[in-house]
């Protein structure tokens, strides 16, 4: 890993954060990964029910973490739980994450499968991105990681379609 990469605030490498950035930045990363801190505004979030978002047809088993300053900054929770699907995103990042899922998920979901499991596919992607395996999930990506992941998956597809 280069010095420049380690010093860049844009990159969050959790496994090196403690040694390179210290406890404060590590704690911030963890709070962001738990939906408790807005990564844009660095302010607190609140847990809201679906009826706040979808007044007409609320789903009582669906929760969100939402930024207290900007209502566009939010993330949904795993169904029936208060565990966030990833970090808080804005609408632009949500579109990018959807694009990533559409490109990446077929690698382990669709036959013929490029990877035998979701876990193996993510392990491969983590290696390509230089990210800590434990934190490599599309839900945790920022814009830059989404764009890189899209590029990596596209290259992989091209390589395997010309073989
Ligand atoms: Zn915010």
Write out the chain's pLDDT in tens, 163 residues.
Answer: 334 444 444 444 555 555 566 788 888 888 999 999 999 999 999 999 999 888 888 999 999 999 999 999 999 999 999 999 999 999 999 999 999 999 999 999 998 899 999 999 999 999 998 887 777 889 999 999 999 999 999 999 998 886 5
Count of domains forming the chain:
1
Please give the distance, rounded to the nearest whole angstrom, from the Cα atom of residue 74 to the centre of ligand 1.
Answer: 8
Prediction pTM value: 0.81
Please give the distance, rounded to the nearest whole angstrom, from the Cα atom of residue 150 to the centre of ligand 1.
Answer: 25
Please give the distance, rounded to the nearest whole angstrom, from the Cα atom of residue 90 to the centre of ligand 1.
Answer: 8
> Does residue 15 fall inside a structural domain?
no
Domain range holding 104?
89-163
E strands of the chain, at which residues? Answer: 45-49, 63-67, 74-76
Please give the distance, rounded to the nearest whole angstrom, from the Cα atom of residue 89 to the centre of ligand 1.
Answer: 9
> Does residue 137 fall inside a structural domain?
yes
Count of CA atoms in the C-beta half-sphere (13 A) of 102: 6
How is the beta sheet containing 74-76 ordered, strand by strand? 45-49, 63-67, 74-76
> Does residue 116 fall inside a structural domain?
yes
> Does residue 35 fall inside a structural domain?
no
Find the farthest-apart pair of alpha carbons in the chain and give their distance in angstroms, rounded. 51
What lies within 8 Å, CB to CB, of 91 at 6+ separation is 72
In order of 7, 27, 40, 134, the CA distances from 22 in angstroms are: 12, 9, 20, 19
Please give the distance, rounded to the nearest whole angstrom, from the Cα atom of residue 7 to the centre of ligand 1.
Answer: 24
> Does residue 11 fall inside a structural domain?
no
Please give the distance, rounded to the nearest whole angstrom, from the Cα atom of residue 111 to the centre of ligand 1.
Answer: 39
């Amino acid at each position: 890993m280069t010095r420049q990469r380690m010093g860049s605030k844009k990159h969050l490498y959790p496994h090196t954060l403690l040694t390179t950035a210290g406890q404060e930045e590590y704690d911030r990363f963890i709070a962001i990964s738990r939906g408790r801190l807005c990564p844009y505004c660095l302010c607190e979030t609140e847990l809201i029910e679906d009826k706040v978002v979808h007044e007409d047809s609320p789903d009582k088993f669906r929760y969100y973490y939402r930024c207290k300053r900007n209502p566009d900054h939010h993330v949904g929770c795993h169904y029936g739980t208060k565990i966030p699907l990833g970090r808080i995103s804005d609408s632009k990042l949500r579109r990018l994450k959807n694009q990533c899922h559409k490109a990446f998920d077929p690698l382990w979901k669709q036959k013929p499968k490029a990877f035998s499991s979701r876990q193996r596919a993510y392990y491969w992607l983590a290696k390509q991105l230089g990210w800590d395996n434990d934190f490599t999930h599309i839900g945790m990506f920022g814009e830059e990681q989404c764009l890189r992941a899209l590029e990596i998956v596209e290259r992989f597809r091209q390589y395997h379609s010309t073989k």
